[in-house]
Amino acid sequence: MAEPEVVPALLELGFSLNESRAYAALLQESPATGYEVGVRAQIPRSAVYGVLRRLVKAGAARSIAGTPERFAPAPAEDLVGLLRKRFDASTTALEEAIQKMDHSPPVPDAFSVRGYSRVLEEAERLIRGAQSRVVISGWPREIEQLSAEIKRAVKRKAYVVVFSHAVLPNLQCEVFSYGFEERALEEFWKHRLVVVVDDTRTLIGATEGGDGDTAVISETTAIAEIATSQVALDITLLSQRQNRDVGQVMAKMLGPRVGRLDTLLEQQDARAPARGGR
């Protein structure tokens, strides 16, 4: 794995920049002295041995006795297993500590998140909690990243509908797409994502791929209804172009509202005077 990939990954896991660079340097060539690691990782000589000792203490590196002392990285699979075990233990401890507090803070009706990764994390969280229905409108890039949670939702027997103007990946659910190339659409449209779960929870946000992306997550039923209706309209317009019957899809997406509306329309037609009559 190249350093540009290793270093940010370790930073995300709580390692310092120098620790991340030192581990990456050891992966590239080891065993190595502190001096050699310092040169390769661009860490000052005065700091490199402290960095390596912290890696050894954390289980990410191993010290080889001798003169001079040399260092080797822990195998990647060993380090990943160790970090996963520690993370699981920490999250369990946090869960137990919160339960002991016996305090449930009020959940806001709506809140916002910033940053591309946070937007997708929240979208995954909503889909993960779906029980009966998921409605999604987005771009292939984002839907591909949500595909694992979409598949799990389908496996739980949730009804999932996905709409996009662009070509979509293979999904085992109701898929509606115009089939346009993503690059062509990006010339005049920005990436946006809508996720509605169980007719109550909604995410609407920008997914341009940067830190400036923002999304609003809502628990308001009215917002969920409006968002679902907008996706339903997009699907209806597409079905007219493709001559595709979407009556059953609309019934499942919109629930009893569709049948009630059809009944009202039939009653209105029955009351209307015949053409040409008085």
Same domain? For 114 and 73 the reply is: no
* Residues 116 and 235 occupy one common structural domain: yes
Return the sign of the alpha-carbon dihedral for residues 203, 208, 209, 210. Answer: negative
Domain that holds residue 56: 3-77
50 and 156 housed in the same domain: no
Which residues have CB under 8 Å from 185's CB, separation 6+?
Answer: 139, 165, 166
Q: Of 44-48, 106-110, 149-153, which has the strongest mean pLDDT?
A: 149-153
Residue 107 has pLDDT above 50, yes or no: yes
Percentage of the chain lying above the pLDDT 90 cut? 55
Instruction: Say yes or no: 8 and 136 in one domain.
Output: no
Question: 71 — alpha (psi -120 to 50), left (phi > 0) or beta?
Answer: beta
Check which CATH number belongs to the domain holding 252 and give it: 3.30.870.10
Backbone torsions φ then ψ of 113, nearest 5 degrees: -130, 155
Res 158: pLDDT: 94
In a domain, 269, yes or no: no
Can you give the pLDDT at residue 144? 94
Q: Is residue 114 part of a domain?
A: yes
User: Are residue 125 and residue 236 in the same domain, yes or no?
Assistant: yes
Query: Do 65 and 162 lie in a common domain?
Result: no
Specify whether 153 is located in the same domain as 242: yes
Q: Count how many domains the chain has.
A: 2
Per-residue pLDDT tens for 134-180? Answer: 999 999 999 999 999 999 999 999 999 999 999 988 888 999 999 99
With a cut of 60, say whether residue 274 has pLDDT above it.
Answer: no
As a whole number of Å, the CA-based R_g of the chain is 27
Instruction: Quote helix, strand, coil % in the chain, to nearest 5.
Output: 55, 20, 25
The answer to whether residues 21 and 135 belong to one domain is: no
Residues 118 and 43 in one domain: no
Query: Is residue 247 situated within a structural domain?
Result: yes
Domain membership flag for residue 223: yes
The answer, yes or no, to whether residue 270 has pLDDT greater than 80, is no
- Same domain for 9 and 68, yes or no, is yes
Average pLDDT of 28-57?
A: 91
Q: Which of 58, 77, 96 is the last residue of a domain?
A: 77
130 with 240, same domain: the answer is: yes
Tell me the per-residue pLDDT of 59-94, one tens digit each, with 9 for 90 and over: 989 998 888 889 999 888 888 888 888 888 888 888
Give the domain CATH number at 17.
1.10.10.10
Among 52, 77, 102, give the residue marking a domain's end.
Answer: 77
